[in-house]
Amino acid sequence: MKDRKLLMIPGPIEFEPEVLAAIGEPTTSHVDPEFIETFGRAIELIRKVWMAPNGQPFILAGSGTLAMDAAGANLIEPGDRALVLSTGLFGERFAELLSRYGADVTLLPFPLGETVDYGRVKEALASGDYKLMTATHVDTSTGVRVDPKPLGRLGREYGVLTVLDGVCSVAGEELRQEEWGIDVVLTASQKAIGVPPGLALLVASERAIAAFEGRKQPVGSYYVDWGSWLPIMRGYEARHPAYFATPPVNLICGLGVSLNRIIAEGLDRRIARHRRLARAFRAGISALGLSQVPTDSAHAANTLTAPRYPDGVSGVEFLGHVRDAGVILAGGLHPEIASEYFRIGHMGAVTEGEILTTIGAVETGLRRSGHRFVPGAGVKAVQEALSDPD
């Protein structure tokens, strides 16, 4: 009997066997010539995935929150003004984080389920002398997607450094960091990058590095200080390793495999695949009579879906039934509506078959929870959407 269940949460995701095999190899020295080449090549490939040919990648042992911490710690000094655009829980987290480093933070929240209104952003920027502005590309707590292009454009117009939290977007949503003028884009390995948890990844623009180098005060965090990590990243890329802290050797080996697979698929094709599968999955959810947290499909994420429970359905009961049907989903995360919705991740190496399996398990969970719908309606809608050439 097969006991393993399909993991369809917004991270960790299902990982490629080749990535897991690379991580499972015997651990080598962090100064072994083969590992030096792997690490250096991973740094080069990150630039390609982020589309930031002149950016400075950082690969750190840690989570997506550590990547956020690295951006805040290195770019904020006490008294700096920061504008945080919030479309969910993780915008609020960034506001708290920046405050810890002494920033004077203005939190600009948008209605639950809505995306960023850049007219309001422009008004806020025009009214204050901000050093930094942050936004969450896809907020994992709401499934709301933000368009990063105006973020970079406004940052340049007002002389503000721009930081994009791409934890739930990088390698799954369209991203052109350098072309769009985003100064820092950060993510975590366990999402669309396709590597088990443990790597904090970010790319800083030349402008962000210059701002860091012009600091008047020491960085408030010892571990994430770019002054300590720049020689490491530059050394490994030049194939001459340096030491500050032992790198997570096995995870970086897995990262190298996954980045190669991403590039081999082609970024445009990969983003189109995520968009197509997300559209199909949303069609299935809609056919079952479920609404979503995002108020418009135009700003719903392509890496996850956040459906609301129908009336009379208990989240705990429903998720248990789905698990019994062989699929693991995530409950709600946003504290205002946590009991009202659930979340399905569909990113990275996700396939059509996994999408169909998941919508079938959702049907089973809904039926066993007492929700009435036409049996097979969700599966049929997904199949029809996947067969649509557009």
DSSP annotation string for 151-213: HHHHHHHTT-EEEEE-TTTBTTB---HHHHT-SEEEEETTSTT---S-EEEEEE-HHHHHHHH
Whole-angstrom distance, CA of residue 204 vs CA of residue 189: 17
Q: Could you tell me if 159 and 118 lie in one domain?
A: yes
pLDDT of residue 2: 62
- What is d(CA 233, CA 253) in angstroms, rounded to the nearest whole number? 15
Specify the pLDDT at position 1: 41
| Among candidate residues 265, 295, 327, the one where a domain is terminated | 265
Residue 304: HSE in the Cβ half-sphere, 13 Å Cα cutoff: 35
How far is the C-alpha of 189 from the C-alpha of 133, rounded, in Å?
Answer: 24
Q: Note whether residue 1 is domain-resident.
A: no
Bridge partners (DSSP) listed for residue 104: 81
- Are 210 and 165 part of one and the same domain? yes
User: Could you tell me if 168 and 243 lie in one domain?
Assistant: yes
pLDDT at 51: 98
Same-domain check for residues 236 and 373: no
Per-residue confidence in pLDDT tens, the chain, 390 aa: 467 999 999 999 999 999 999 999 999 999 999 999 999 999 999 999 999 999 999 999 999 999 999 999 999 999 999 999 999 999 999 999 999 999 999 999 999 999 999 999 999 999 989 999 999 999 999 999 999 999 999 999 999 999 999 999 999 999 999 999 999 999 999 999 999 999 999 999 999 999 999 999 999 999 999 999 999 999 999 999 999 999 999 999 999 999 999 999 999 999 999 999 999 999 999 999 999 999 999 999 999 999 999 999 999 999 999 999 999 999 999 999 999 999 999 999 999 999 999 999 999 999 999 999 999 999 999 999 999 876
What pLDDT score was predicted for residue 258?
Answer: 98
Same-domain check for residues 132 and 253 = yes
Q: Based on the domain organization, do 87 and 150 belong to the same domain? A: yes
Residue ranges making up the domain that contains 310: 6-11+266-387
251: which 2 tokens? Answer: 């995870």
Q: Based on the structure, what is the number of domains in the chain?
A: 2
Measure the CA–CA gap between 195 and 199, rounded to whole angstroms.
8
| Pair (101, 225) in one structural domain | yes
175 and 28 in a common domain:
yes
Q: What is the pLDDT of residue 390?
A: 63
What's the CATH code of the domain at 380?
3.90.1150.10
Contact between 366 and 373 (Cβ < 8 Å): yes
The region, left, alpha or beta by phi > 0 then psi within -120 to 50, assigned to residue 83 is beta
Q: Are residues 172 and 276 in the same domain?
A: no
Picking from 381, 285, 245, the residue whose alpha carbon sits closest to that of residue 8 is: 285
Q: Which CATH number fits the domain that encloses residue 218?
A: 3.40.640.10
Beta carbons within 10 angstroms of residue 322's beta carbon: 26
* Same domain (yes/no): 231, 285: no
CA proximity to 87, closest of 169, 197, 2: 169
**Final residue of a structural domain among 234, 265, 296:** 265
